Structure 1
Amino acid sequence: MKLPVVARSLALVTAVAMIPIATAGMAQVDSRVAPEFAKLFATYQRIQASYVDEVDNEKLIRGAIDGMLASLDPHSAYLDGSDLERLETLIDGNYSGLGLSVVMEDGAVKVISPFRGSPAEKAGIKAGDFITHLDGKLIYGGDLDEAVQQMRGPAGTSINLTIFRPGSDEPIETSVTRGVIELEPVTYEVKDGKIGVITVNEFSRDVGADVFAAWNDIQREAGGRVNGLVLDLRSNPGGSLDEAIALSDLFLDEGRIVSQRGRARGESMSFDAETVYRGQIAKDVPLIVLIDAGSASASEIVAGALQDHRRALIMGERSFGKGSVQSLVPLGPDAALKLTTARYYTPSGHSVQEGGIKPDIRVPQLSDPDMERRRKYQLRESDLRGHLINEADLKDDDLENDIRQDPRFTQTAAELEEQGIEDFQLDYALKTLRRTTPSSVALRK
């Protein structure tokens, strides 16, 4: 397994990819919109002249910028110096805080997922929870960045959270001690039957290399013979586009990995196998990829590529459905726009925007006692106000197929606990691999 001679670039991301783009021509204003700019300037002048209190210029301009971007989609945003610093720390996978992926929904801070092993997960915070108060102060209707900033802080300090959990009658009060979120982007273990499990928690720097190293360790611990492999991408909110390509390339030796299409010149491009790694790992090993509603962006790129090339069996639940690319547009030394500039597509040309990646075998997480109650309020890209519409015009019935009852899965969480099964989806994947032979669907071309 060799790296190509040409070094690859590192793309910064918040959800899929952050790619610097040219800013030439930004100062030019189309004459057709001049009257609208006149309205904007007139509003600014009237506020400055007549508002009951004196207003800071920076506040008005920032509000105008935020308003423009908020009218586009949930992922476009203005980033100032502190926001850019937080973006860098997220890419490095090392910061102090609670370890939560959150989004603003109708003025409320909603949890997409807690990071595995984070203080938030240990405190029992779950996907779908709404955070209403921080240290007793109402944050509903506030700014998401301000809420995130309050939840971060020095390791060892505590913050009190008030949580509304759909299905619960009373608010939940909990205290969470902040920690250094040194997320292990990649962990692994070897299960009975010499089956490896590689868990990718986020797509931060060097994830491709970390998975490659994990595979070598699994081979060594299994005595050189691995009978199956699970790639666990559940609750993985995404990260670097480069690392998604690298991870996909590990398991593919030819063909398209992902493509993106945008309106601006230079935003339409494609990425193929053999770009990062020569050859593929685990070539004759049956592979299952686990996904769920928290698997987003970069996770969906990997799952979609391996599914379309029939290199892996995709198992779990339909993914989040974020199929857009965000580019970083510099606005001076300490500010930038995070602007949605393209949609991305799987090798077969499928856009995951809204619809997500549909698993080959849908397996609900029966070991979660709150599964049914929380599924009703589960958040996906299609639930976000102002989200981009899938060009394929998906039907609501198609998006709801994955919540219908499957007669094969009837055990309760309590029954599974009695059997010692703490993670039903992983257990089902392991049992499937133990029944798998090299001629099965997980390897079929």
Structure 2
Amino acid sequence: MSQRWKVILPLAALALIPTGAAVRAAAESDTYKQLDQLMDVFERVRVDYVDKVDDQALIKGAINGMLTSLDPHSSYLDARDFQTMRQTTDGEYGGLGLTVTTEDGAVKVVSPTDDTPAARAGIKSGDYITHLDGELIYGATLQDAVDKMRGAPGSAVKLTIVREGATKPLEFALKREVIRILPVKFETRGNVGVIRISTFNKQTSDATKAAVASIEKKLGANLAGYIVDLRSNPGGLLDQAIDVSDVFLDKGEIVSQRGRTKNDIQRYYAKGGDLTGGKPIVVLVDEGSASAAEIVAGALQDQRRAIVLGQRSFGKGSVQTLIPLSQDSALRLTTARYFTPSGRSVQEAGIEPDVQVPQLSDATRADRPRLREADLRKHLINEIKDGTEKIVETDLKPDPRFIATPEELKKKGVIDFQLDYATKLLDRLAPGGPVQSAAVAVVPTKVLQK
């Protein structure tokens, strides 16, 4: 017969077993010791560093170091950073028109903005900027690099670029301009309306509505459908992504954002009234389509409202909240992940197109690296729900269906293969006759001043 033993501890021994409160108190005590150590380092640097240092610079450096250890998108904003952010979201600043990030101390181009000095000069996504006016910027903070690229309109600046596949560094002599970011342009290709959305600033949703109205007025009953071009769109304001999605949706969820706790979920829905009248839609995306652009593409894809065409998007599925610290400083902190209506997290994996179509008309694209969220240091890891890891496509295997060269396409009059493919796809979807593929002049939308 087995015996069951009971062990009875004396009260004195029970007092030695840590309770939850005791564990928390010990953890807090250890945290305060670490903070004391931080202050010790601060004082030692002030007193013993070889050069005299500025206290504010030291404190800002400590804060930035803490935030950059979290993820690539959390940061501290001082008065200068605030001004930069306002210029970007308001849609006007003096500079070159580049969206950049840092990778291992190097400044890397995410995407050039349409119709800016950088785009016209041929600077590409994935390029590394090594020098500005001959001065090495490796190791500089991202804000310092941005400040050096911005400046008075008309002033000149020389960029040295390292591009994968190029045998030597490339030199670009540019003149700064007033960068007025027109977030939306439109054109008509035969009976198809093409809406190009380059960023999500305060004007984007109104400009999108104006583009839809203008296209409908021009084509009338002959309108076969819309192409929403989100390629190389780095994102922007969340509320604008929601409003733009609502332009094309009659009902249903657009996006949800979920914080740290189980119940911290906020959902956003279409308000009703599809302004396009249910016409067929094709959404174009590529590896430069990020954040707000991915919200729109994911919403229209999950709601079966559009066919997404192109290549896998950037994969930034996190939400940053601006938390004021004082009158001239704030904390930009990652506070949530966002999810598409079907519950997909876009973080790392991005939006997978319904139809994978490479950009065959870009001769240099195959030699350029594809920069995505998963390539950034300290990026948030996508949560795996079912215990199996999603295998992300690498863009390395060519699709045998797409074998035309840029030269062959140019002879056929095809300048933008993905756009041409999307136009022909709408041709097949249209209930009426054939859709022509000839393009007319691109017209920027104008938003009425309120």
- Between the aligned residues of both structures, percent identity stands at 52
Deviation, structure 1 residue 34: 0.5
The structure having more radius of gyration, on CA atoms, is 2
Give the aligned partner of residue 409 of structure 2: 416
Distance in 1 separating the partners of 2:264 and 2:61: 28
Instruction: Identify the match of residue 174 of structure 1 among 169, 172, 175.
Output: 172
Give the aligned partner of residue 15 of structure 1: none
Secondary structure at the counterpart of residue 293 of structure 1: coil
Give the aligned partner of residue 130 of structure 1: 128
Match status 1:382 vs 2:367? no
Match status 1:66 vs 2:64? yes
What are the equivalent positions in structure 2 for 1:395-406 lying under 5 Å apart? 398-400=391-393, 402-406=395-399
Give the aligned partner of residue 93 of structure 2: 95
What are the equivalent positions in structure 2 for 1:313-392 lying under 5 Å apart? 313-374=307-368, 377-392=369-384
Deviation, structure 1 residue 121: 0.5
**Preserved CA contact (<8 Å) 1:264 1:341:** no
Distance in 2 separating the partners of 1:46 and 1:284: 66
**Preserved CA contact (<8 Å) 1:159 1:178:** yes
Distance in 2 separating the partners of 1:279 and 1:307: 18
Give the aligned partner of residue 236 of structure 1: 233
The structure 1 segments of at least 4 consecutive aligned residues displaced by more than 6 Å after TM superposition are: 393-397
May I ask how many residue pairs the two structures share in their alignment? Answer: 405
TM-score, with length taken from structure 1: 0.88
**Preserved CA contact (<8 Å) 2:224 2:431:** no
User: One-letter code of the match for 1:380?
Assistant: R
Q: Deviations along 1:400-436, whole A, 9 cap, x unmatched?
A: 2544211110001111111111100000000111111
- The structure-2 alpha-carbon separation of the partners of 1:265 and 1:433, relative to structure 1 and needing over 3 Å to count, comes to closer
What's the RMSD between the two structures over aligned residues?
Answer: 1.8
Secondary structure at the counterpart of residue 94 of structure 2: strand
Instruction: Identify the match of residue 162 of structure 1 among 154, 160, 163.
Output: 160
Deviation, structure 1 residue 437: 3.5
Distance in 2 separating the partners of 1:161 and 1:351: 37
Match status 1:223 vs 2:220? yes
**Preserved CA contact (<8 Å) 1:316 1:363:** yes
- The structure-2 alpha-carbon separation of the partners of 1:267 and 1:205, relative to structure 1 and needing over 3 Å to count, comes to farther
**Preserved CA contact (<8 Å) 1:286 1:438:** no
TM-score, with length taken from structure 2: 0.87
Give the aligned partner of residue 285 of structure 2: 291
Instruction: Give structure 1 stretches of 5+ with no counterpart.
Output: 1-28, 440-445
Distance in 1 separating the partners of 2:101 and 2:126: 10
Distance in 2 separating the partners of 1:401 and 1:146: 33
**Preserved CA contact (<8 Å) 2:315 2:350:** yes
Secondary structure at the counterpart of residue 419 of structure 2: helix
Secondary structure at the counterpart of residue 259 of structure 1: strand
- The structure-2 alpha-carbon separation of the partners of 1:75 and 1:266, relative to structure 1 and needing over 3 Å to count, comes to farther
Instruction: Identify the match of residue 184 of structure 2 among 175, 183, 186.
Output: 186
Higher normalized contact order (CA 8 Å, seq sep 6+, divided by chain length): 1
Deviation, structure 1 residue 225: 3.0
User: One-letter code of the match for 2:247?
Assistant: L
Deviation, structure 1 residue 206: 2.7
Distance in 1 separating the partners of 2:301 and 2:149: 37
Give the aligned partner of residue 11 of structure 1: none
